[in-house]
Amino acid sequence: MNESADKSGTTHFGYRDVPVAEKQKLVGQVFTSVARKYDLMNDLMSFGIHRIWKRYFVGTAQVKPGDVVLDLAGGTGDVAALLRGRVGDRGRIVLGDINAGMLSVGRDRMTDRGLVAGIDYVQCNAEALPFPDNGFDLVTIAFGLRNVTDKDAALREMQRVLKVGGQARVLEFSEVRPRWFRPLYDFHSFQVLPRLGRLFVDDPGSYQYLAESIRQHPPQEQLKQMMENAGLSRCQYVNLSAGIVAVHTGYKV
């Protein structure tokens, strides 16, 4: 599987091959469509377990009061809200997302929670971050890397904007480990999810894409190698829920 986009060729959008230049637009259409009911659909798709995964992701991160954190693909603000409590009043969270619709929902949700101070919102492409080198103590991306066209470029950018000693963390769907569980997981992904999309968002196609994008994402060992290739050190991962998702970690040295 070629995970780096060939700038002169095609890349995958779910199970379809599309021109590299078109993937960003197509992914944008998906998340614009689902933005307002994104949290509801996450609850329905994962039976609410995504909230536990995110709490683990943040709870085991290398972050302390006063840190400056970049949360990429920050979407509706779930991870940023958890991080805000970890960095305290002296810290700062930058919530970045390429999709204006998701970023708007995230800002509204954070405001509704009373989380206003110490949070900045930036519409940005993870492949070319508008930040200087060595600026963040922690960079996170949760359930967003699989939608990036050039994942290698995004990982290199995460490494670039980290301070020396800083940590990069990726929470993403991965490869289910028990073979007996895979048919059940496939049934849920390809039969249940599109029906939920039709029922609650009137958009089964977007959830068909999301299921397919999970299968196209690099499995655990391959993503670990990609992080090492991007210049991150001491890379490792932890499987959650039998490998349905994995938390990958790397450091800038």
pLDDT number for residue 31? 60
Residue position matching structure tokens 């009373």: 114
CB of 92 closer than 8 Å to CB of 69: yes
pLDDT number for residue 75? 81
Q: Which domain holds residue 32?
A: 10-178+207-251
Is residue 202 domain-resident?
no
Is residue 216 domain-resident?
yes
Is residue 187 domain-resident?
no
CB of 93 closer than 8 Å to CB of 69: yes
pLDDT digits (tens, 9 = 90+) for 121-172: 999 999 999 999 999 999 999 999 998 989 999 999 999 999 999 999 999 9
Is residue 2 domain-resident?
no
CA 151, CA 159: separation in Å to the nearest integer? 12
pLDDT number for residue 1? 40
Residue 80: give its domain's CATH number: 3.40.50.150
Task: Give how many domains the chain has, as a whole number.
Answer: 1
Is residue 89 domain-resident?
yes
pLDDT number for residue 27? 63
pLDDT number for residue 2? 41
pLDDT number for residue 32? 62
Compute CA 197 distance to the chain's CA centroid, rounded to the nearest angstrom: 20
The predicted model scores a pTM of: 0.84
pLDDT by residue for the chain (253 residues), tens only, comes to 444 445 447 776 656 665 776 777 766 666 665 556 667 667 777 778 999 999 999 999 999 999 999 999 998 899 999 999 999 999 999 999 998 888 998 899 899 999 999 999 999 999 999 999 999 999 999 999 998 989 999 999 999 999 999 999 999 999 999 989 989 988 888 888 778 777 776 777 777 777 788 888 999 999 999 999 999 999 999 999 999 999 999 999 9
Is residue 3 domain-resident?
no
